Amino acid sequence: MRPCKGTKSPAHIQQCLIDAVYFRINLRDYPRNYNRFVAYKHIEMKHTAAYWIEKLGLTDHVEGGAFAETYRSPLVLQKANLPEGHTGDRSAATAIYFLLQPGRFSAFHRIVSDELWHFYTGAPVHVYEITAAGELKHHILGDDPELGQSFQCLIPGGSWFGSRIEAESGYGLVGCTVSPGFDFEDFELAAREHLMASYPEYADIIEQLTR
């Protein structure tokens, strides 16, 4: 690839459009940011995914990806004081490390509590959210606000959400904080057919992020 400025090739123009949409950047900014586009599609990292999996003690998560719980508040909230939907007492908050690699996505699921995502290192992590009102939102976790990325994103309780990295190599390492604290009793993994029937307008991303 090369910067789009002055190009005449239809195939090249098509690639510029794809990259501009992929990185959520106006085409007039493409030439100026060309090297950053290439870097994010072929990210070179100081450590490998295997390094972080071993270093942080990550294990496979049922939704996809690898995780390790790092915090569970000793403060327990009684069910009577929790929002509707919780089936029992819950810790005030929990936190995990979460790592994604190419082709190893986190499938659409939902929980009762709010979940705050934090970016740590690696490739940008794309989080797709279908809100309780039926709106599709696309969050990008990363360290470059000029490319539409942010260090945090919030997924409210009740939203369906799935995530992946869209770089061709590497990994994305993030953290997830849940409050009231996470419990698998509050976890629901989406069935592809059911989710597609509920949101047919989002069939493409649902098919990509369900198993």
Please indicate, yes or no, whether residues 79 and 127 belong to a single structural domain of this protein.
yes
CA dist 11 and 1 (Å) reads: 10
Please indicate, yes or no, whether residues 35 and 53 belong to a single structural domain of this protein.
no
Please indicate, yes or no, whether residues 57 and 86 belong to a single structural domain of this protein.
yes
Please indicate, yes or no, whether residues 56 and 29 belong to a single structural domain of this protein.
no
Structural domain boundaries enclosing 20:
10-41
Please indicate, yes or no, whether residues 117 and 16 belong to a single structural domain of this protein.
no
Which spans in the chain are helix H? 10-22, 34-41, 49-56, 192-198, 203-208
Share of the chain above pLDDT 70, in %: 79
Please indicate, yes or no, whether residues 77 and 56 belong to a single structural domain of this protein.
yes
Query: What integer pLDDT is reported at residue 35 of this predicted model?
Result: 52
Please indicate, yes or no, whether residues 165 and 65 belong to a single structural domain of this protein.
yes
> What's the total number of domains in the chain?
2
CA dist 154 and 129 (Å) reads: 10
Q: Is the pTM of this model over 0.75?
A: yes
Q: What is the pLDDT of residues 152-204, one digit of tens each?
A: 999 999 999 999 999 999 999 999 999 999 999 999 999 999 999 999 999 99
**Residue 120 domain-assigned?**
yes
φ, ψ dihedrals at 195, nearest 5°: -70, -40
CA dist 91 and 183 (Å) reads: 9
**Residue 1 domain-assigned?**
no
**Residue 201 domain-assigned?**
yes
- pLDDT bracket for residue 29 (50, 70, 90): low
Q: What is the average per-residue pLDDT within 74-87?
A: 95
- Residues in Cβ contact with 89 at an 8 Å cutoff, skipping those fewer than 6 apart: 76, 77, 78, 79, 82
